[in-house]
A and B are shown apart, each in its own frame.
Chain A
Amino acid sequence: MSSAAIDHQIMWNRLIAVVEEQATTLIRTAFSTSVREAGDLSAGLFDRQGRMIAQAVTGTPGHVNAMAESVTHFAAAIGPQNTFEGDVFITNDPWLGTGHLHDITVVTPVFRKGLHIGYFACTAHVVDIGGRGFGPDAGEVYEEGLLIPITKFAERGQVQPFLIEVVRANVRTPDQTVGDMYSLAACNEAGDRRLQAMMDEFGIDDLQALSDFVIETSRAATRAAIAKVPPGEYRNTMQVDGYDAPVHMEVTLTVEGESLTADFEGTSEMSRFGVNCPEVYTRAYACYALKCAIAAEVPNNTGSLEPFRITAPEGCILAARRPAPVSVRHVMGHLVPDVVLGALHKALPGVVPAEGASALWNIQISARASDPSSGLPGAEVLMFNSGGTGARPRHDGLSATAFPSGVSTMSVEATEHVGPITVWRKDLREGSGGAGEMRGGLGQTIEIEARDGYDFFINAMFDRVDNPARGRDGGGAGAAGGVALADGTKLASKGRQFVRNGQRLRLSLPGGGGYGDPKRRDRDAVARDLIAGFITPEQAKQDYGYEG
């Protein structure tokens, strides 16, 4: 290592701090709860060619990797001759951004001494974008809200008033949505200030050499990690619930030396409903899964993402064609890592987890007065909830924990202040973890009832109700999810449904799959699980052969 390399490393560290500061600014200023509370955002720095140099660790994988691709679309659409100091670009095109209209991506070109040297980019989920609202029921993307093509939010420092007026006129929350657009622009500005200070300190006027160093170092490390995966073709399939018909996912991994390809050929056609994924979102989650298993320690940048080549045939549910509805693309997207990791398991046994609940169970509730003439105001409530993750080769799965998504849940007490509902139960679902030498993570049980004077609608978007998480290497499946009323009446797992006052909605979130033969589970661990109530006495006996 040379001392120039030390300088590059110090600047690399600084760049990561710069993009973290960029992300922090966004978290602190964005309006949307999913950004502030659940970290549904992404922020990064790109060079002049649109290659990502650094990205904030904060953020959820679907954004993280999708945004990496988007800057090249901006560069191509606007062109260097039309890129000026003070410009701010914007889009929420699901196919050019991060997969649905609710995510707005803002890109700000960076200038130094009058020369264009790179871009800052960031993405965040906004509260509302018009259309039908957040839910899977649209038939085309046009119904899902306003689409802003790649355009300039500001030119030479002047915000385009017409764009603001169009957005304001088309969304339910004009102040918040437009406010978030400004937040996104401000966070890029914050990044720019810090970057300029760093360049002053190190006496450089160009990012090229640094960008090459970061990207080459990361690419080499990623390739070296891929080269350790035994060459070959590894195929895996998985069936999940989908909206109205089961979805077949299929992937073939091809490992040849330092290159790895994932191809989703064979996957089901698009759905008529908004569970479709644009390919960019599929790539994001597939790449995330591969990276976790193969090269977790390499920071995210073009160099560490490029060696993973991911394709899906256009028109399948994982590479939806315009104008497919894509609003809740996260459900399929969150399940992508399971099918990819299952294929990788054939190449690298003993590394990846069993399948998990994976898709978040987002509860979107609209509470309405039972008697419309009562004057009681309605309320919208959104909660993020997670089932169990798959067991790992050497550790149990995590109970009620998000994977692959990076979001957090909200406090029940805070939620009950938002809308007239009572959450009677939110606790671990006993016995729901797949049996195994390593046990799958437990799902959870949630019971919700409207307060006096109210009924509610639920926008169901739940998966793994018909297709539970499978175990690995002899491990059992996790418990399937359940959507019902407390009296046992079954509800559909997708779509808008009505829950009357006095009825109690009961959601049983899926458990993660087990890993390895449960009969080989450490007897003390079985005894502890039994005492804690993580497994039932019947399971201890039947699945684990525990006589205690």
Chain B
Amino acid sequence: MGQNDIRVGVDIGGTFTDVALLHPGGLTTGKVLTEYSQPEQAIIDAIVKAAGDAGVGLGEIGQVIHGTTLVTNALIERRGAKTALITTEGFRDVIEMRSENRFEQYDLNLTLPVPLVPREHRFTLSERMAPEGEVLLPLDPGEVEAMVERIRDGGFEAVAIGLIHAYANDAHEVAMGAALRTAMPGLSVSLSSVISPQMRELPRFNTVIANAYVQPRVADYLGRLVARLGDIGVTAPVFMLHSGGGLISVETAAQQPVRLLESGPAGGAIFAADLARAHGLDKVLSFDMGGTTAKICLIEEGAPKTANTFEVARTYRFKKGSGMTVSTPVVEMVEIGAGGGSIASIDSLGRLQVGPRSAGSEPGPASYGRGGEDPTVTDANLLLGRLDPENFAGGSIPLLPDRAEAVAARLELSPHDAAFGITELVDENMANAARVHTVENGRDIEHFTMIAFGGGAPLHACRLCEKLGIRAALVPPGAGVGSAIGFLKAPFSFEASRGLFQRLDAFDAGAVNEALEALEAEARAFVEEGAEGAETAVRLTAQMRYSGQGWEIPVLLERKRFGADDVAMILAAFETAYRTLFGRIIEGLPVEITNWVLSVSTVLPKVKPVAHQSGGSPAPVIRTRRFYDAALRAHVDASEVDRASMTVGMTVEGPAIIVESETSTIVTTAYRAIAQSDGALLLLAKETRE
């Protein structure tokens, strides 16, 4: 391993900044508290500490890889630049009218999210493109000049330009942008035809606005970070993890910060994907459960499932439709309000409910004894014997079962029934979300293996598997800093897309080839900023649908120069994809392509395969502890085992509790746990299914 192979990953999360340093001696990880006012300080502290622990000089670090939720937070907390929108006359209110529906059907007092750019900052130009890109109404240079003055007089820091059908013809956006940049070189200008050149005005406008809104702050922050790293002697290039799970240069990130929205969580999915490859698992459900939320992601053939739109900054917790839909490549994750801190309550029908409200880390669950007055999932786990009161978080937080019992009484149930109800409901909520997500993707969850990480997941993994009919789960080591480790496993990648609407029966191969060449050149240039000369792979997706349908499905195609005779092949690929998702095709209907998506990524080094351990000698048992096995509806005597004492191949038959400093793995009666050579625990259903 040479100097350039010393790499460090840093993840800024809401509470902690995690670091993972890969060096010739191995992997060193650590955590420091996130500092909101100066996030770069936590990074410096974390890197210095990890380098010290590992005995690596700061100057020896070859690469810094960074991911952060700061961009998302800036949108949620509305801490962005003073931003103007320039759009087509007649479309000033696209972002305010949204999809014209209500995301909560029965709430008469529903309020909708307030647009990022208020109406008085949304300006229009008399111009218009047609869907095929021809000019219906030319742009008047006089109007452009007047607009420049208007922006100058308004004192805006950032401008988003989003014109109708600009994905088909960007000329008017480019002209307006150039005029602004010439007149005001310091102004931040974002074009929808650059940031998200896809059909559908609402997500495209949202995306370019989100980009403009955060761009000045993010660019400042990244600039400071690079400078501060230089000051302490880290001169290595800095790369950012983007939402799609790949790396881009810090310069690109500063220009297109909207690509960073899911940067942190994507790291967790890459971490799981790497594990899936090492264990040779084709179909994986990654399950990441922390204190407030649980995240679910599908990983197939070693790659996390990605999407090209997602919803950010939901105003009603976790409620689909209450946020702002942006179109940018993203690892597709379902997030639900289920974590250790999720609060249980009784609703107006007298029913028990769990989450999405969370006690967070302050005051935390009632059993922390820090003033928490509401029963939470952690309290319930304690009452059911799944947590050891003396050994929670490595013994740093002694848990108080008395407090947990006292608050459970509010639910008008016996403490035991309350605890059982809470854990079952939270497991139901997570299982239901996982099931719906797999159904939406046309998959059968029974055939997946779970990878469980984050503090809460090992406690709930077995029960969740029981509910979902999943036979095997992996609990990796080092799961507490999974995202930061994931950063180190990410390829360099860039996804470029373009709206190019064509009916398949009028397929224009020339136009498609031309567009694809431009997309590939664009994507390749970004990848080469970080990985010049590296071996790359190209992934091409066409968004396709039957004519008249509202939404497209992604169809994976071979990257080649298309000819007119490829229509049959494209149609066949569409039909295969359609059948996988929906179970059937519709014969005789015309098919159309709306968008093309092309990504270039570096080829990941082959992972060292982990030999599958199917069981060996029993692990040493520390003592017998009782916990409540929900499937059996009974307390069971469980073997308590120290995870650190489990050598490769050692097996623990459920019921068992495998303890480590950060968390505990509950092995229910129906499962056994086997230590794998990479330190992961494999939870396997005892009854094998044939």
Contacts and interface: CB of A to CB of B under 8 A. Distances in A.
Nearest to B427: A10
A353 B112 CA distance: 16
Contacts of B108: 292-293, 296, 351-353, 392
B106 A292 contact: yes
A395 B586 contact: no
Given A1-B350, A10-B425, A416 B130 contact: yes
Contacts of A451: 130
B201 A6 contact: no
B643 interface: no
A413 B200 contact: yes
Interface stretch (A29-37, A131-139, A244-252): A29-37
A188 B204 CA distance: 36
A3, A385, A428, A444: residue with the most chain B Cβ atoms closer than 10 Å: A3
Nearest to B89: A425
Interface in B59-118: 89-94, 96-97, 99-102, 105-112, 118
A418 B548 contact: yes
A351 B109 CA distance: 9
Given A176-B586, A411-B199, A428 B101 contact: no
Contacts of B584: 29, 179, 182
A9 B581 contact: no
Given A36-B550, A408-B99, A17 B436 contact: yes
Interface in B124-144: 128, 130-131, 136
B120 A533 contact: yes
A33 B128 contact: no
A57 B102 contact: no
10 contacts: A1-B352, A10-B425, A221-B349, A292-B108, A392-B108, A398-B112, A416-B165, A417-B594, A426-B94, A427-B90
B514 interface: no
Interface stretch (B239-247, B330-338, B413-421, B452-460): B413-421
A175 B549 CA distance: 14
Given A413-B165, A413-B200, A416-B131, A33 B413 contact: no
A353 B348 CA distance: 23
A426 B92 CA distance: 8
A532 B118 contact: yes
A239 interface: no
A296 B106 contact: yes
Contact of B164 (A190, A412, A447): A412
Interface string B574-614: 00000001111011110000100000000000000000000
Given A9-B351, A413-B164, A413-B165, 14 more contacts: A3-B413, A6-B420, A17-B435, A17-B436, A20-B432, A127-B548, A296-B107, A395-B111, A400-B96, A401-B101, A413-B199, A414-B594, A424-B90, A424-B128
A394 B587 contact: no
B424 A10 contact: yes
A489 to B, nearest CB: 20
B299 interface: no
A266 B548 CA distance: 43
Contacts of A427: 90-94, 97
Nearest to A16: B432
A215 to B, nearest CB: 12
Contacts of B469: 197
Interface string A18-50: 001100110011010100111100000000000
A401 B100 contact: yes
B90 A426 contact: yes
A13 B165 CA distance: 44
A190 B130 contact: no
A384 B100 CA distance: 9
Contacts of A194: 435
A268 interface: no
A534 interface: yes
Interface residues of A, number: 84
Identify which of A291, A392, A427 gathers the most chain B CB atoms within 10 Å of its CB.
A427
A9 B551 CA distance: 36
For B97, B428, B501, the residue with the greatest tally of chain A CB atoms inside 10 Å of its CB is B97
A416 B90 CA distance: 15
A428 B96 contact: yes
A546 B352 CA distance: 50
A353 B110 CA distance: 11
B109 A9 contact: no
A39 B119 CA distance: 29
B101 A24 contact: no
Of listed A25, A417, A534, residue having the most chain B CB within 10 A: A417
A533 B199 contact: no
A407 interface: yes
Contacts of A9: 351-352, 421, 425
A119 B638 CA distance: 42
Interface string A390-416: 001011001111110011111111101
A91 interface: no
Nearest to A441: B112
Contact of A176 (B120, B136, B589): B589
B539 interface: no
B586 A414 contact: no
B284 to A, nearest CB: 21
B102 A402 contact: yes
A298 interface: yes
A307 B91 CA distance: 45
A108 interface: no
A92 interface: no
A164 interface: no
B582 A29 contact: yes
A401 B112 CA distance: 10
Interface in A293-333: 293, 296-298
A46 to B, nearest CB: 20
A384 B550 CA distance: 13
B440 interface: yes
A417 B421 contact: no
A148 interface: no
Contact of A3 (B118, B202, B417, B442): B417
B432 A13 contact: yes
B447 interface: no
A180 B314 CA distance: 33
Interface in A402-460: 402-403, 406-414, 416-418, 422-428, 444, 447, 451
Contacts of A210: none
Contacts of B94: 426-427
Given A6-B424, A400-B97, A24 B548 contact: no
A362 to B, nearest CB: 12
Interface in B217-252: none
A299 B605 CA distance: 52
Nearest to A533: B119
Interface in A192-243: 194, 197, 201, 217-218, 221
A531 interface: yes
Interface string B489-531: 0000000000001000000000000000000000000000000
B109 A394 contact: yes
A534 B101 CA distance: 20
Interface string A453-478: 00000000000000000000000000
A70 interface: no
B565 interface: no
Which 5 residue pairs spanning A and B have beta carbons closest together? A37-B550, A425-B90, A17-B432, A532-B119, A296-B106
Contacts of A36: 549-551
Contact of B200 (A28, A217, A411): A411
B590 to A, nearest CB: 11
A61 interface: yes
Contacts of B349: 217-218, 221, 297-298
A412 B120 contact: no
A28 B581 contact: yes
Nearest to B108: A292
A428 B90 contact: no
B626 interface: no
Given A9-B421, A28-B582, A33 B165 contact: no
